[in-house]
């Protein structure tokens, strides 16, 4: 009877049926996409192969592209802006896309990683493609690759390669006027580098990251990043240290392309007063300058015949009309502030020592302003995690002067039950490794802050087929098994948005609850979430429900 009643009600409301079908279909697509993730057991082997024969990666990418019916020639019609760098490349792309969208162009924007839903990686006019479009185009590409894998004697492309092919397919089908393409890792052998004729290229700030793939020195990394240079295609870079800058200049000469250093943003502002940006933080000013140069160069090319040799560019362009797009650019998870009543969250996906320095500078300025206007006790909380080969201890050392009252660590797992969370599943690292890293981070923090580690059963990490629901504690540090349990403990029911999300309450021991008394009594709780964009994305799933809708 009740089963029949459900179907009868659904028949009365076709909108509910459609929404349910779309949700199920997109989940099926994302689950199929997740099968292309590299299992942790073979990830090391893949990284070894990548470092041994990196040039074969692009050859394989061209093969995958051909199997979907696309060719490298077709990509030339996307009028691409190609951007790489160690930090700030995503923000640069976001500024660039918004500037050109404000000129009335239909924009495509491909970025990584996503924060909450995988559709965020592929945007049309600044918005993630709809669930319907994602599902439609996903199966078009997936089915073609799946149908041809045996006859070609090769398997399916890995996760990021597939999404890159899907982005190209979407942008061509949706007839965008231009595509802003953010490099995944490096440049020379990144799968986005099958692009042959971008209209302009950009390099944001360089630093040390992904050393197992790109090399251990800043010069090696600069060489990899400069791999996106193409003969005759203008390149702009922000100011770099002398050693990487020399590498970029040498590569530009060797490849035969003009390379310019962007002016400071202040140079654009004479007579117009200080320029405010939609993205907070001093480091965003050089990203905005790079975006202005990329946009202006693209516009010059667009207004001329389309022949690259006709681009009348002899120096960086300073006489630019300052785009209002800079002021309204949004790029969630990067120097982002969310105020939820007495709890304020500061979110920044910094995951290198360079970007963490910028994060600390931004947070210190923000917190000083916030606390100066507050009457009553303020509690500072750090919520931290890292992934991959990042130097957690070095980043924590940079964070230690911020004087946090609590340091909370958790893996990039949103909640214990992950069946309905396909977008944020990660098969590249085991749960045991994730939780062990959290405990290592906790020990690093304790050694920095001088707190003593309690001995005994609390220091043991026990995983018996499922995630534990009880927090492990050390004085002013905590390790929680998932993001939701960490947020619930930090907010202590004082965040109305988190409480209204309808997530199940995850219980903790009474002793853990007792330790949260300062959080319940403080006039203001300031929470810095950093160390990993995946962590920030998991947090935003609960704090900004619009991203998950």
Please, how many CA atoms are within 13 Å of residue 517, restricted to the half-sphere of its CB? Answer: 4
Sheet-wide strand order for 378-384: 336-340, 343-348, 524-530, 378-384, 406-409, 477-479, 472-474
Strand-pairing partners, residue 409, are 384, 479
Q: Is 259 helix (H, G, I), strand (E, B) or coil?
A: strand
Q: Are strands 122-124 and 259-261 parallel, antiparallel or unpaired?
A: unpaired
- Max intra-chain CA distance, the chain: 77
Backbone angles phi, psi at 525, to 5 degrees: -115, 120
Q: DSSP labels for 410-457?
A: --S---S--TT-GGG---SS-HHHHHHHHHHHHHHHHHHHTPPPPPSG
Evaluate whether 84 touches 228 at the Cβ level (below 8 Å).
yes
Strand extents, DSSP E, 111-203: 122-124, 127-128, 178-182, 200-203
Q: Is 132 annotated as a binding residue?
A: no
Q: Is 392 annotated as a binding residue?
A: no
d(CA 478, CA 486): 9
- Burial group, residue 45, by CB count within 10 angstroms (0-12, 13-18, 19+): exposed
Put residue 103 in one of left, alpha, beta given phi > 0 → left and psi -120 to 50 → alpha.
alpha
Q: Is 210 annotated as a binding residue?
A: yes
Evaluate whether 484 touches 418 at the Cβ level (below 8 Å).
no
Residues 6+ apart with CB under 8 A from 119: 26, 128, 129, 130, 131, 134
Q: Is 112 annotated as a binding residue?
A: yes
Dihedral sign for Cα atoms in the order 293, 296, 299, 303? negative
Evaluate whether 212 touches 388 at the Cβ level (below 8 Å).
no
Residue of 207, 259, 204 whose CA lies nearest to 229:
259
Residue of 239, 248, 226 whose CA lies nearest to 293:
239
Our CA dihedral for 34, 40, 42, 46, rounded to 10 degrees, sits at: 80
d(CA 438, CA 387): 10
d(CA 453, CA 447): 9
Residues 6+ apart with CB under 8 A from 433: 40
Q: Tokens 């130097």 label which residue?
A: 391
Query: Which residues fall in the annotated binding site for Mg(2+)?
Result: 112, 182, 210
Query: Which residues fall in the annotated binding site?
Result: 112, 182, 210, 334, 348
Query: Which residues fall in the annotated binding site for ATP?
Result: 334, 348
């Amino acid at each position: 009877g009740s089963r029949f009643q459900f179907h009868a009600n659904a028949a009365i409301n076709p909108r509910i049926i459609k929404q349910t079908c779309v949700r199920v279909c997109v989940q099926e697509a994302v689950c199929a996409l997740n099968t292309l993730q590299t299992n942790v057991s073979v990830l090391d082997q893949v990284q070894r192969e990548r470092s041994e024969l990196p040039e074969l990666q692009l050859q394989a990418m061209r093969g995958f592209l051909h199997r979907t019916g696309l060719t490298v020639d077709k990509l030339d019609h996307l009028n691409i802006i190609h951007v790489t760098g160690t930090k700030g490349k995503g923000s640069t792309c976001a500024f660039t896309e918004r500037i050109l969208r404000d000129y009335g162009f239909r924009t495509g924007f491909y970025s990584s990683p996503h924060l909450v839903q995988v559709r965020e990686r592929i945007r049309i006019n600044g918005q993630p493609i709809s669930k319907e479009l994602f599902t439609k185009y996903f199966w078009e590409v997936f089915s073609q690759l799946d149908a041809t894998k045996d006859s070609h004697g090769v398997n399916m492309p890995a996760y990021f390669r597939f999404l890159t092919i899907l982005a190209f397919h979407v942008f061509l089908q949706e007839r965008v006027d231009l595509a802003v393409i953010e490099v995944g890792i490096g440049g020379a052998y990144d799968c986005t580098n099958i692009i042959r004729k971008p209209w302009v290229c950009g390099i944001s700030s360089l630093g040390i990251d992904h050393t197992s793939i790109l090399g251990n020195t800043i010069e090696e990394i600069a060489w990899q990043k400069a791999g996106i240079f193409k003969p005759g295609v203008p390149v702009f870079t922000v100011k770099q240290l002398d050693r990487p800058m020399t590498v970029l200049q040498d590569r530009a000469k060797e490849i035969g392309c003009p390379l310019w250093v962007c002016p400071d943003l202040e140079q654009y502002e004479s007579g117009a007063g200080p320029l405010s940006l939609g993205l907070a933080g001093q480091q965003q000013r050089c990203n905005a300058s790079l975006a202005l140069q990329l946009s202006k160069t693209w516009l010059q090319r667009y207004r001329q015949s389309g022949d690259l040799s006709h681009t009348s560019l002899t120096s960086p362009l300073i006489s630019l009309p300052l785009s209002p797009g800079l002021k309204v650019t949004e790029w969630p998870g990067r120097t982002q502030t969310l105020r939820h009543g007495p709890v304020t969250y500061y979110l920044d996906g910094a995951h290198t020592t360079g970007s963490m320095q910028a994060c600390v500078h931004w947070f210190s300025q923000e917190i000083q302003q916030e606390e100066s206007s507050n009457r009553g006790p303020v509690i500072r909380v750090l919520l931290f995690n890292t992934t991959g080969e990042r130097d957690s201890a070095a980043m924590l050392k940079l964070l230690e002067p911020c004087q946090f009252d609590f340091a909370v660590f958790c893996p990039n797992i949103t909640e214990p039950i992950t069946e309905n969370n396909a977008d944020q599943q990660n098969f590249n690292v085991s749960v045991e490794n994730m939780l062990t890293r959290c405990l290592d981070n906790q020990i690093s923090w304790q050694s920095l802050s001088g707190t003593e580690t309690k001995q005994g059963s609390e220091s043991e990490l026990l995983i018996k087929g499922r995630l534990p629901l009880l927090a492990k504690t050390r004085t002013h540090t905590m390790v929680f098994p998932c993001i939701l349990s960490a947020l619930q403990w930090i907010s202590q029911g004082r965040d109305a948005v988190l409480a209204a999300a309808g997530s199940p309450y995850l219980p903790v021991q009474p002793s853990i609850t007792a330790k949260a008394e300062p959080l319940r009594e403080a006039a203001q709780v300031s929470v810095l979430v950093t160390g990993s964009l995946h962590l920030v994305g998991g947090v935003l799933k609960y704090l900004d429900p619009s991203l998950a809708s």
